[in-house]
Chains A and B, each alone.
Chain A
Amino acid sequence: MNPSSLVPFPPLIYLFAGIFIPLVTLRWRRLAGWLALTATTAAAFFSVINLLQVLKQGIIPYRFGGWIPPIGIEYILDPLSGFVITVINLIALGVIVHAHQSVKAEIKESRWPPYYALVMLFLTGANGIIMTGDFFNLYVFLEIGSLSLYGLIAVGEKKSPVAAFRYLVMGTVGGGFYLLGVGFLYLVTGSLNMGDVRNILPHLQVTAPLVVALTLMLIGLGIKMAVFPLHGWLPDAYTYAPSPTSAIMAPIGTKIGAYAIARIFFFIFGIRLITQIVPIAQVLAWLSAVGIIYGSVLAMAQNEIKRMLAYSSVAQVGYIGLGLGLANSFGFIGALLHIMNHGLMKACLFLVAGNFRLKLGHSRIDRLDDSLRRSMPWSAAAFTLAALAMIGVPPTVGFFSKWYLALGTIASRNWLFLAIILLSSLLNAVYFFRVIERMYFPWRGSSQKRTLSSPAPKNESQEVSLGLLLPTLIFALALIVVGFLNVWLVKTILTKALPAGF
């Protein structure tokens, strides 16, 4: 089989799954989860195949319907898209396995088919954004992803429709900004194909419409990525969405925005344009730097694990933005690595938060106590490990992100950014150890109270079932294994995924 014909498989698989799930489940409702799982497995499988292929033979373009670009739509499989799509789909696989049971607990049975269909459409959007080589097509996938996400958020707890509405407004504005930017770009270049635009741009004068196009696209994608101060939709959406939604949205949603920014600004517009002519990279770096501190500080003030993790995401997305904005190879590699690392960490943390909700009925920090270490030892351990990874303790993945980003800041002699990255890992320690202390140590004499008033804690384990535990633990394990693999990943994949000009 011609290897290039496999290129569009991942997004197409999700798209068909998204359409078929509601149809098939008219008769067999319980099949929804299994179909989603099958589709995700297949998509992950083909992503891996594609990645291996691209590493072997370099960039593989795929032309839909055989139309030659710029007339037709083109998909580009290069090391960057191959890497990110593999990461996203493997993480999605773990989350879907977990969702198989958490959906049952949090969502009414009648809603399973539409819920899974929306998950599939969300992943269609994510995969499409990664693969596409067309500006307008990217917009379409952006909206597919966002629209399905609104639905996924809105089925959560009481306040979730409000959170979804807020995201709907901001997401639509973001999409609108992006589309406007594309319009301006089309005005200037006369093309919507990314490769085409890349070839045309160097021959053009930098004019106001081009600057406007760049700015609008940055704002639009910045909202999707939740770069400070465009993150407003994120905390509520993560908090009030049902656990499976948060778990799939947190590791994947914002990363797609980050990927789009990396792709469009660094590969298409080029380093020179966005650093020397229009200071897009610098703006991104500074906003991200502020976001890192802002997110970390607000995360400390939260009392709900999911909300804390949400603000932590604002900060962590800042790492990615900062790495990209440094516009050097270390920073870029650090950012790409952090897309993966943060995806793994957040997936693990949100799965644990989901486990807590299932067993305890809540995930409020002030109501956690040290009975957890007996009743849910594995979930607590996974949380602790992921927390250490977030802090950046070696040999977990977080340490290596920090290492590359630190190299990037020093290489560009930006001591303030270095200080921010390092300070942020300490702030991470503050808010994660707050939770760890509660999970493991008796709190303010709570142990005495327990012996006096209530019966002694049961020694028996109330750990969640294996189907929930296994993905959690696999993510936790991956935090260490992937850490050791970082040099291999960087050498075999990421150094090939650098834009020209570093």
Chain B
Amino acid sequence: MVNATTYTSLVPLLTVLVSLGAVPLIILSSRRPNLREFWTIAAGVAKLALVVSLLPSLLRHRIAVLNLGEIVPGVDLAFKADALGVFFALIASSLWLFTSFYSIGYVRGLQEHKQTRYFAYFAVCLSATMGIAFSANLATFIIFYEILTIATYPLVIHKETEEAIKAGRKYLAYTLTAGVFLIAAATWTYLLAGHLDFIPGGLLKNIPFEPKTAWSLFTLFLLGVGVKAAIMPLHSWLPTAMAAPTPVSALLHAVAVVKSGVFGVIRVGLFVFGPELLRRFHLDYLLLTSASLTIIIASFLALKEDNLKRRLAYSTVAHLSYIVLGVGLISSPALLGSLLHLAFHATMKITLFFCAGAIYVHLHKEKVSELDGVGHVMPWTMGAFAVGSIGLVGLPPVNGWLSKWCLGWGAVAAARPLYLIILILSGLLNAAYFFPIIYRAFFRQGETGKTGEASLLMVVPLVLTAILSILLGVWPDLGFKFFKIAHEVGRVIFGGVS
């Protein structure tokens, strides 16, 4: 075992600031779209580079920390780029880059209004996401979590139609409510523990608890992070939020925002409460039950949904709960599966959303029932869609199989085979709602009215994320060493080393 050491570094703060710094530049160059988009891309590249620069020392068990002084009494505004944080930051920042290119193609293809606002808030969202990833304590986490809530709102209502504004209201109603639960939970935790620092194995580990207190506090936390994690019955904002432009759905409602929610579940479950407390008070059942129900119910809802994006949204709801399930199983392989699914679901789902967006921009089709023959017109797009679907069903070689495998292994290792059955059942349901789409696209004839693919700015990113999904399935340590970092997180928590 190697003990991790910490070193002070500005990098975690810079990753937050780099896209925030791009916002004024984006706004100032609103009359010159190319320059404006250049800032987005530049910020994306810089952000990714900064996150990647944290990798080498992390792999040598050196953790970057930064302390900016007290923000609320007894709690600092502090960043800590631990394995889990870097893992999440890598996913979000690398996929932002893909999404940025895709966004350019998308908004220009549709000649969207208010593109400056769109790119500006996108950058703010990514800043907040980095802040969430690198938060060293609950207070810092909450601050960025709430900023993310607010910064996403203008993107949800981007179209400014009645439907979009209603979706925005629903989104705010859910997420702001979650925010106040989180504040209640955090302040309570502070009064119990005297600090709010995330500690592997749980900051509340040594606090004497009444079962009732433990359950109430954990429920408060779960209500707080569960909304963004779309755990049922807190999920219903997510399908509604599909009123947003597709790149927003792709990055925020499949990666950044919702994954912040599950990231919160992981932080709360394993860094605030910790495995011991979860087991002692049977809090894991709360996670397992809600996650299992969510997986099954959401899959059925996806099955009957005709709108493609909404079907994907329900699928996201189900897959987010895979991750929650992995946390609830409290075993090292299950956590590994959880984290891998956090990354891999992101690459797969973003591919699917990109495809949905490309179809919408090019053919103006939004419904599954209209997709007959689309595969002949847009073979690359639908090919990528097939790759993503296969991955989400859990078939090799696409990366989804690996995370599912680990989750299943974790269920067996934790001696809870019921959840293995749920995973298998869910895989079948995934097949049931995805494969008909592929079948329609490739094996039925239909009138599309157009030929050829959407613009290259859209097709190239989606093909790349599809390829990435396959590569990560074959070689999970490719590039960013997802497997290794995820393994490190598990070691830190279950190996008892902090």
A residues near B (Cβ < 8 Å) are 388, 391-395, 399-400, 402-404, 406-407, 410-411, 418, 422-423, 425-426, 429, 433, 437, 441-442, 444, 484, 486-488, 490-491
A391-B70 Cα distance, complex, nearest whole Å? 22
B6 within 8 A of A: no
B207 within 8 A of A: no
Given known A-B contacts A391-B176, A407-B191, A433-B169, A486 and B72 have beta carbons under 8 A apart: yes
Given pairs A422-B180, A487-B69, 15 additional interface contacts (CB within 8 A): A388-B150, A392-B180, A393-B147, A393-B150, A394-B143, A394-B147, A404-B73, A407-B191, A410-B187, A411-B191, A422-B183, A426-B176, A484-B71, A486-B72, A487-B72
B467 within 8 A of A: no
Cβ-neighbour of A406 out of B146, B169, B183 (below 8 A): B183
Q: Are A437 and B150 in contact (CB under 8 A)?
A: no
A404-B176 Cα distance, complex, nearest whole Å? 18
B489 within 8 A of A: no
Q: Are B172 and A410 in contact (CB under 8 A)?
A: no
Q: What would be 6 A-B contacts, judged by CB atoms less than 8 Å apart?
A: A392-B180, A393-B149, A403-B187, A410-B188, A422-B181, A425-B176
Contacts of A429 in B (CB 8 A): 172-173, 176
A317-B73 Cα distance, complex, nearest whole Å? 23
Cβ-neighbour of B162 out of A394, A411, A444, A491 (below 8 A): A444
Contacts of B73 in A (CB 8 A): 404, 487, 490-491
Contacts of A400 in B (CB 8 A): 72
Contacts of B187 in A (CB 8 A): 403, 406-407, 410
B38 within 8 A of A: no
Most chain B beta carbons < 10 A, residue from A395, A484, A487: A487
Contacts of B72 in A (CB 8 A): 400, 403-404, 486-487
B298 within 8 A of A: no
Contacts of A490 in B (CB 8 A): 73
Q: Are B191 and A410 in contact (CB under 8 A)?
A: yes
Q: Are B165 and A437 in contact (CB under 8 A)?
A: yes
Q: How many inter-chain contacts with C-beta < 8 Å in the A-B complex?
A: 70
- The closest CB in chain B to the CB of A434 belongs to B169
B380 within 8 A of A: no
Q: Are B71 and A487 in contact (CB under 8 A)?
A: yes
B89 to chain A, nearest CB (A): 20
Residues 143-187 of B at the A interface (beta carbon under 8 Å)? 143, 146-147, 149-150, 157, 160, 162, 165, 169, 172-173, 176-177, 179-181, 183-184, 187
Q: Are B169 and A394 in contact (CB under 8 A)?
A: no
Contacts of B147 in A (CB 8 A): 393-395
Contacts of B146 in A (CB 8 A): 393-394, 399
Q: Are B160 and A425 in contact (CB under 8 A)?
A: no
- The closest CB in chain A to the CB of B189 belongs to A410
Contacts of A441 in B (CB 8 A): 157, 160, 165
Given known A-B contacts A441-B165, A444-B162, A487-B73, A426 and B184 have beta carbons under 8 A apart: no
B142 within 8 A of A: yes
Residues 240-284 of chain B, each 1 if its beta carbon lies under 8 Å from chain A, else 0: 000000000000000000000000000000000000000000000
Contacts of B179 in A (CB 8 A): 393
A429-B69 Cα distance, complex, nearest whole Å? 30
A411-B189 Cα distance, complex, nearest whole Å? 11
A401-B183 Cα distance, complex, nearest whole Å? 12
B480 within 8 A of A: no
Q: Are A406 and B165 in contact (CB under 8 A)?
A: no
Contacts of A404 in B (CB 8 A): 72-73
Contacts of A399 in B (CB 8 A): 143, 146
Contacts of A391 in B (CB 8 A): 176
A371 to chain B, nearest CB (A): 14
A393-B70 Cα distance, complex, nearest whole Å? 18
Contacts of B160 in A (CB 8 A): 441-442
Contacts of B165 in A (CB 8 A): 437, 441
A490-B72 Cα distance, complex, nearest whole Å? 9
B486 to chain A, nearest CB (A): 30
Residues 132-145 of chain B, each 1 if its beta carbon lies under 8 Å from chain A, else 0: 00000000001100
A410-B192 Cα distance, complex, nearest whole Å? 10
A490-B150 Cα distance, complex, nearest whole Å? 27
A487-B180 Cα distance, complex, nearest whole Å? 21
B435 within 8 A of A: no
B405 within 8 A of A: no
Contacts of B300 in A (CB 8 A): none
Cβ-neighbour of B143 out of A395, A402, A486 (below 8 A): A395
Contacts of A425 in B (CB 8 A): 176, 180
A404-B190 Cα distance, complex, nearest whole Å? 11
- The closest CB in chain A to the CB of B181 belongs to A422
- The closest CB in chain B to the CB of A424 belongs to B180
A487-B165 Cα distance, complex, nearest whole Å? 37
- The closest CB in chain B to the CB of A425 belongs to B180
Q: What are the 4 closest A-B residue pairs judged by CB atoms, nearest first?
A: A422-B180, A487-B70, A394-B143, A406-B187
Contacts of B142 in A (CB 8 A): 394
- The closest CB in chain A to the CB of B188 belongs to A410
- The closest CB in chain B to the CB of A388 belongs to B150
A482-B75 Cα distance, complex, nearest whole Å? 17
B148 to chain A, nearest CB (A): 11
A395-B69 Cα distance, complex, nearest whole Å? 14
Contacts of A402 in B (CB 8 A): 183
Contacts of A418 in B (CB 8 A): 184
- The closest CB in chain B to the CB of A370 belongs to B160
A391-B173 Cα distance, complex, nearest whole Å? 12
Residues 318-334 of chain B, each 1 if its beta carbon lies under 8 Å from chain A, else 0: 00000000000000000
Q: Are A407 and B190 in contact (CB under 8 A)?
A: yes
Residues 187-225 of chain B, each 1 if its beta carbon lies under 8 Å from chain A, else 0: 110110000000000000000000000000000000000
Most chain A beta carbons < 10 A, residue from B150, B173, B187: B187
Residues 40-71 of chain B, each 1 if its beta carbon lies under 8 Å from chain A, else 0: 00000000000000000000000000000111
A430 to chain B, nearest CB (A): 8
Contacts of B181 in A (CB 8 A): 422
A441-B113 Cα distance, complex, nearest whole Å? 12
B456 to chain A, nearest CB (A): 33
